[in-house]
Structure 1
Amino acid sequence: MTYLQFKLRQLLQRMWFLPAAFSLLAVLTVAIAYILARYAPDELPFVLPSNAVQTILEILASSLLTVAVFALSTVVGAFSAASSATTPRAVPLIAGDMRAQTSISVFIGAFLYSIVGIIGLSAGLYNDTGRVFLFVMTLGVLVLVVASLIRWIGHISVIGRVGHTIGVVEEATRKSLKTMSEHPLFDCGRLDGEAQGQPLSAERPGYVQLCDAKALQKLAEEHDLRISVLGRPGTYATPVRPLLTVEGTFDEDLGKALLACFVLGEQRAYDSDPRFGFIVLGEIADKAMSAGINDPGTAIIVIDTVTRLLLEWHDERKCGENDRVLVAPLVPRDVLVDFYRPLARDGAGIIEVVSRVLKSLETVAATKPTFAAAAREMAKDVVARAEAAMTAESDLGDLRVVAGWVGERD
């Protein structure tokens, strides 16, 4: 993903962008009706009195303002519910939900369309032909509003719920995994062993949100460099932890240009960071087991979700076109620790959760050779924590049964 694509994607996810775009479109629609009227025949089969169109526009204007405010308040309530019931890290995904944004944008855009149309009619800008065009466009807007309202009614029944939030995070993580499989190692070479060259660090701390490998490749070709990327998206960069190492000669300006290929932010982004998705899912499952919520069933649902995602994992082995840039693959153990360790720690005394965790790790170990050793190591840690936390002999007996595979091949 290039810097421009990353910024465009971030812009589209901003909650204000679609309403602003629809508002602009609404104003243009009214203007188009005025322009088309100038090229229409002077005499039409029928004409409309100005109050006929204005009445419809007034009804739309008075009702849509209330609908838009209600829709926005529903979304804000969904943010609060998702933050308290799951994790605040999932809120940006709900805010970027295109279905919710589209419906709200239609309501706001149609409201602005009605206001501008009323102003135009009151000012006498439309002749008989213009009123006909405006009437036809108003009917189209009315159909769009009704369709959006029906869609919104169906959407508010699920938005902000725990199940919906889990599904949204799962989809974001799946998209990140798909990006990783289509562009393994960001289309760069594979870094094995220690990185060579002079290190370069960011001037301020922050999470790496984007690594523009194409820009790094271009600079490396122009200045005969070889670059090893240490700061993949999701890495917390600091002035003492290098983002990359450079083999070759470069000056201060070129060093700044190389660092400019990385986008740092205060929070991690889902786009090219599948580990972040697993971390957020782990937080949801972990919170469900807290004393205040006490919902191990949700934790089990999340475990099943992560199992599906891990089975879709593709190893980063292919080397791409950016041959002067090297990137280290993700470490399997780190991926598993991100999700399973909080559950192993806080769910150690709940046999239902521990059992599902061990079954999940068994599935991953049996189907994904890359994760086999790490899954077995993680399972041993889960069993050790569970044996220390459980006191009922019946629970320990069930634990020994479900953990029978852990000791194999030792």
Structure 2
Amino acid sequence: MDRLTNFVQQIRNKIAFLPTIISIAGLVLAFFMIYLEQVNISSYLIDVAPGLVIDNTDTAKTILSTLIGGLFSLTVFSFSMVMVLLNQASSNFSPRVLPGIISDEKHQFVLGQYIATILYNIFILISIEPTENSYQTPGFSVLIGIILTVLCLASFIYFIHHISQAIQVGNILIDIHERTRAEIENIIEQEKEKSLDFPNTENWEAYEITSSGYFYGILHDNLLKLCKENNTKIVINLFKGQFILDGTIGLLTEKPIDEKLKENIMNTLLFNNEELMGENYIYGFRQISEIGVKAMSPGINDPGTALNTIDYLTSLFLVLMKKWEYEYVSDSDNVNWSRTKCPNFSEVLYNVMATYRQYCKHDITVMRKLMHMLKTLTYHVINSNQLEDIEIEINELREDAKLNIENKRDLSKIDTEFISWS
């Protein structure tokens, strides 16, 4: 990742990203049409296709004013619905699913189309000159404004359909699952071209982190350049998504470095005051787990959703098991110059299981589903450490079931094969 890529990723998740670009396109189109009107395109078209040109100034003004007012109302109504959607998603699922909904390109495109059409119609209305010459009326430009408004109405119909689908928990889970799985698979694909070769770091120089906030990534190209120019390897002992306090020991170097180099290295580490999805696949596990746990709360009481979340988590764990414990920054010769800590399979599995066991230990169906997930994972382990971690979680799950489920027949079913009845 370089600085430009990081900047694009920062603004890409903002709801105003695409609307701004599309709105600028609407302004450009308006000025282009004004230019065409100045070279009498309407005069030409009224001779070729008179039915397409509005040559009455009062009619043109009335039409444009009506379109502008109607589009303002449509815009307000549409994105009042978005606010309702965000509030409902936050209440019923998890506040951490909001960035994914906000950054939805379809919502942004519809908003941008509305604003672009409003700006286009406003500037065409302003350009109408007070003259008796009918050819001074921007008749063709008004026709384009009507066509753009009709397209906005079509987008509104699509928007209603899409927003009704977006609020469904199944679609939210699919989106989180696909995004998280793609991130892990992308990392695994990059690992195929790298090696695990890295020096022992036992006697390396340790330095404090001079920034605070959520650590979410590295400018790989910049860090690699610094390492090669100064002929030193670096270890970054920070987890992505971890909140870092100023003064935390999180930087190790192969040899002592001066303050200037340390500052340059710090500039390659990315921090933010809020949690960002970025490249951090751990947020996917966290979001799905929170949705599952929220579904088991007394206010929602939806164990079916909790069971669905376990299915998606099982799929993600199967991919995560193939990933290395560290991430490396390598050069074109496949030499590793920097290493960053990553939450390993054991830590992620424990965090997920601890969350579910705490809030779902009274529900035999969910507990059986969790047991089914763990046993499924045992058939796909990569090494003995993973198998040991899974067996520990299986034993913990049995203990919690014995302590919280009183029905003996239910307890006898905890290890049986889980068959969905939905």
Shared fold (TM-score, shorter chain, > 0.5): yes
Aligned partner of 1:89 in structure 2 is 96
Counterpart residue type for residue 341 of structure 1:
A
Which residue among 275, 284, 300 is the counterpart of 2:282? 275
Q: Contact 1:110–1:141 (CA<8 Å) still a contact in 2?
A: yes
Q: In the alignment, what sits opposite 1:48?
A: 54
Counterpart CA distance in 1 for 2:193 and 2:205 is 22
Query: For residue 20 of structure 2, what is the aligned residue in structure 1?
Result: 20
Partner of 1:406: none
Residue 357 in 1 paired to residue 370 in 2?
Answer: yes
Distance 1:156 1:131 in 2: 37
- What is the 5 A alignment of 1:11-410? 11-38=11-38, 43-44=44-45, 45=47, 46=50, 48-49=54-55, 50-121=57-128, 128=135, 131-184=138-191, 194=201, 196-313=203-320, 314-316=322-324, 320-321=330-331, 323-370=336-383, 371-402=386-417
Taking a change above 3 Å as real, the CA distance of residues 298 and 147 of structure 1, as seen in their structure-2 partners, is: same
C-alpha separation in 2, matches of 1:221 and 1:394: 64
Distance 1:264 1:127 in 2: 60
SS, match of residue 128 in structure 2: helix
Q: State the one-letter code of the partner of 2:249.
A: P
**Cα distance in 2 for residues equivalent to 1:335 and 1:186:** 25
Cα distance in 2 for residues equivalent to 1:94 and 1:123: 46
Hey, what's the Cα distance between the residues in 2 that align with 1:72 and 1:138? 22
Q: Gapped runs of 5+ residues in structure 2?
A: none
CA contact (8 A) 1:173 1:270 kept: no
Deviation at 1:127, TM superposition (A): 7.9
Quote the sequence identity (%).
23
- Gaps in structure 1 of 5+ consecutive residues: 404-410
Shift, 1:304, TM fit: 0.7
Aligned to 1:2: 2
Give the alignment's Cα RMSD to 1 decimal: 2.8
- Distance of aligned partners of 1:224 and 1:67 in 2 relative to their CA distance in 1, 3 Å threshold: same
How big is the shift at 1:323?
Answer: 2.3
Distance 1:75 1:188, change over 3 A: farther
Count of residues in correspondence between the two structures: 402
Letter in 2 for 1:153: I
Change in CA separation of 1:97 and 1:382 when aligned onto 2, cut-off 3 Å? same
Following TM superposition, the consecutive aligned residue runs of length 4 or more in structure 1 with deviations greater than 6 angstroms are 185-188
For residue 283 of structure 1, report the CA deviation from its aligned partner: 1.1
Deviation at 1:130, TM superposition (A): 7.4
1:43–1:264 distance in 2 versus 1, CA, 3 Å: closer
Give the secondary structure class of the aligned counterpart of 2:249: coil
Structure 1 residues 226 and 302 mapped into 2: Cα distance closer, same or farther (>3 Å)? Answer: same
1:4–1:149 CA distance, 2 compared to 1 (3 A)? same
> Compared with structure 1, are the counterparts of its residues 79 and 63 closer, same or farther at alpha carbon in structure 2 (3 Å cutoff)?
same
1:277-313 C-alpha deviation (Å, 9 max, x unpaired) = 1012111111111222221111101111111222333
Q: Which secondary structure state, in structure 2, belongs to the residue aligned with residue 178 of structure 1? A: helix
- Matched to 2:401, the amino acid is A
Distance 1:91 1:360, change over 3 A: same
One-letter amino acid of the structure 1 residue matched with residue 88 of structure 2: A
CA distance in 1, matches of 2:380, 2:191: 20
CA distance in 1, matches of 2:164, 2:247: 48
Tell me whether 114-123 or 148-157 shows the greater mean CA deviation.
114-123
Contact preservation (8 Å) 2:210, 2:247: no
Paired with 2:284 and 2:318, the residues of 1 have a C-alpha distance of 15
